[in-house]
Amino acid sequence: MADNSSDIAADQSFSMEGYDMDTLVQHAGQSADVWCTDSALVPPIMTSTTFRLPGVGELGDFVYARLGNPTRNAFEKCIASLESAKHGLAFSSGVTAQFCVASLVKAGEHIISGNDLYGGSTAQLKHMSNKYNIETSFVDCRKSENFAAAIKPNTKMIWIETPTNPGLRLADIAAIAEIAHNNGAFLCVDNTFSSPYFQKPLKLGADAVMSSVTKYINGHSDVLLGTVCTNNDEINEELRSFQKLIGAVPSPFDCYLANRGVKTLPLRMEKHQENAIAVAKALAENPRVEKVLYPGLPSHPQHDLAKKQMTGFSGMISIWIKGGLDEVKIFFKNLKIFALSVSLGGNQSLAESPATLNHGGVTEEERAEVGITVNLIRLSIGLESSSDLIEDLENALKAAIPEV
Ligand SMILES: *Cc1c(COP(=O)(O)O)cnc(C)c1O
């Protein structure tokens, strides 16, 4: 695996510098003194909301659970090390993490973002624009020039997601970071689809990286949680104050689960990718499928950029089948292993229909522009056997489209 090492040790009792990600997920932030015991190998679920203070006017490492909690800190330190970041912050969900980052922008300032974001992200930016007098521009993220062209004197933040959901479009992180910095703005990248295992936006020049931990990082579809990592002290300070001011922090139990889930991130990402490559290749040859998009296939229009900025291609595939709504409905009825479910990045394979589901904040024209037509099916490839997954998809396709 190409460069997955961390060059910045997240604040740790011993230096984690230079260790591979497989080692970091096990050890970064996990030293027992971080969570107030001296010998346990696994962080406890620390439920105490308040902590004994050393003296009047003196603060200990922990004061009150909203500000910090040993279980949360262990996870925050671990995730920071994976992103090669100085600071890691956990929030109660991915959208909360995004909301806090977007709140670094003031009324009257301007945000440029990709036009093919996670539906909830677009909805949130539009909401902020309407409610808080923040200007927004949405551009096709595949051409970095589009961001340069959209810059205004009041542009404060560029927000990108790469690869995007569900168009699997890529944005050139290094090029867009340069555009942001040349114009006094900062860049935040939503790294949910690749996870830090396959992509390190901060190393490519981004100022902050956000992840919906709900997806690959936790990986077991049983925790809602979001993170932001950054090397920028000012951004960290402001985001810490949001944890304090709005209290949108994850519970100790969720932090415990996420900290446990991330331990197998490298193993899971390798298997997600191996399965996704096998499934994408099989579907590309299937006569019932009009088009397959997977950043790891040479047929993906931005495969070269994928190879340049990612060290792997993750487990998300978009396919367009030869049929309409009727065929799509029959296809889903006949799936046995894939569940018809939203979300992604979990151990089980999921399939969904973006045109009929989670794009509430997006208009019909906006959907068409990013390729969200009724025959689009998004697949989140899980950890099952790839031959069973291929058979499941082939059987459902045959049932939906008997004649080719
Ligand atoms: C799910 C998701 C989010 C939102 O995260 P939640 O944890 O559901 O709040 C943001 N971005 C992307 C790309 C996602 O897939």
Residue 87: strand pairing partners: 230
56 and 88 in one domain?
Answer: yes
Which residue has the least CA distance to atom 12 on ligand 1?
118
131 and 32 in one domain?
Answer: yes
Q: What number does the ligand 1 atom closest to the CA of 345 have?
A: 15
**Cα of 301 vs its chain's centroid, Å:** 22
Measured in Å, residue 255 CA sits from the centre of ligand 1 at 17
Model confidence pLDDT, tens digit, residues 244-254: 999 999 999 99
Domain enclosing residue 241, as ranges? 15-264
**Mutation test of ligand 1: which of 191, 192, 255 has the most ligand atoms closer than 8 Å to its C-beta?**
192
Q: What's the pLDDT score for residue 7?
A: 39
Measured from CB, residues less than 6 Å from any atom of ligand 1 are 93-95, 118, 120-121, 161, 165, 190, 192-193, 212, 214-215, 224, 226
Name the phi and psi angles at 159, rounded to 5: -120, 120
Cα separation, 42 vs 39, in Å, equals 9
Last residue of a domain, one of 217, 236, 264: 264
Model confidence pLDDT, tens digit, residues 310-327: 999 999 999 999 999 999
Reduced to 3 states (helix: H, G, I; strand: E, B; else coil), residue 304 is helix
Cα separation, 397 vs 176, in Å, equals 39
269 and 252 in one domain?
Answer: no
Measured in Å, residue 202 CA sits from the centre of ligand 1 at 19
Cα separation, 42 vs 31, in Å, equals 9
pLDDT higher than threshold 80 for residue 301:
yes
**Mutation test of ligand 1: which of 118, 343, 380 has the most ligand atoms closer than 8 Å to its C-beta?**
118
Q: What's the pLDDT score for residue 359?
A: 55
Average pLDDT taken over every residue of the chain:
93
Return the ∠ at Cα 348 (arms to 345 and 350), rounded to 5°. Answer: 70
Reduced to 3 states (helix: H, G, I; strand: E, B; else coil), residue 291 is strand
Q: What percent of the chain shows pLDDT beyond 90? A: 84
Asked if residue 103 is part of any domain, the answer here is yes
Spatial contact of 326 and 190, defined as CB atoms under 8 Å apart:
no
How many separate domains does the chain show? Answer: 2
Q: What's the pLDDT score for residue 5?
A: 41
**Rg for the chain (alpha carbons), in Å?**
21
Nearest-10 Cα torsion for 400, 220, 202, 79: 180
CATH classification of the domain holding 378:
3.90.1150.10
Spatial contact of 101 and 228, defined as CB atoms under 8 Å apart:
yes
Asked if residue 3 is part of any domain, the answer here is no
pLDDT higher than threshold 70 for residue 264:
yes
Where do the DSSP E strands lie in 255-356? Answer: 289-293, 316-321, 339-340, 350-352
- The mean-pLDDT minimum among 86-90, 161-165, 267-271, 367-371 falls in 367-371
Residue 172: strand pairing partners: none
44 and 164 in one domain?
Answer: yes
State mean pLDDT over 180-206.
98
Joined together, the tokens standing for residue 389 give 């997954």
Q: What's the pLDDT score for residue 256?
A: 98
Residue 90: strand pairing partners: 227
Model confidence pLDDT, tens digit, residues 364-386: 787 888 889 999 999 999 999 99
Asked if residue 6 is part of any domain, the answer here is no
**Cα of 97 vs its chain's centroid, Å:** 11
State mean pLDDT over 34-45.
82
Which residue has the least CA distance to atom 11 on ligand 1?
118
Reduced to 3 states (helix: H, G, I; strand: E, B; else coil), residue 56 is coil
Asked if residue 271 is part of any domain, the answer here is yes
State mean pLDDT over 384-389.
98
311 and 220 in one domain?
Answer: no
Name the phi and psi angles at 4, rounded to 5: -115, 15
State mean pLDDT over 257-264.
98
Asked if residue 4 is part of any domain, the answer here is no
State mean pLDDT over 173-187.
98
Residue 190 is which amino acid?
D
pLDDT higher than threshold 60 for residue 393:
yes
Last residue of a domain, one of 218, 249, 264: 264
Residue 250 is which amino acid?
P
Q: What's the pLDDT score for residue 15?
A: 66
Measured in Å, residue 346 CA sits from the centre of ligand 1 at 13
Last residue of a domain, one of 264, 284, 308: 264
Asked if residue 61 is part of any domain, the answer here is yes
Catalytically annotated residues:
66, 118, 190, 215
Asked if residue 8 is part of any domain, the answer here is no
Model confidence pLDDT, tens digit, residues 75-108: 999 999 999 999 999 999 999 999 999 999 999 9
State mean pLDDT over 15-33.
85
**Mutation test of ligand 1: which of 100, 198, 199, 215 has the most ligand atoms closer than 8 Å to its C-beta?**
215
Closest CA to 110 of 133, 127, 143, 130: 133
Measured in Å, residue 225 CA sits from the centre of ligand 1 at 9
pLDDT higher than threshold 80 for residue 358:
no
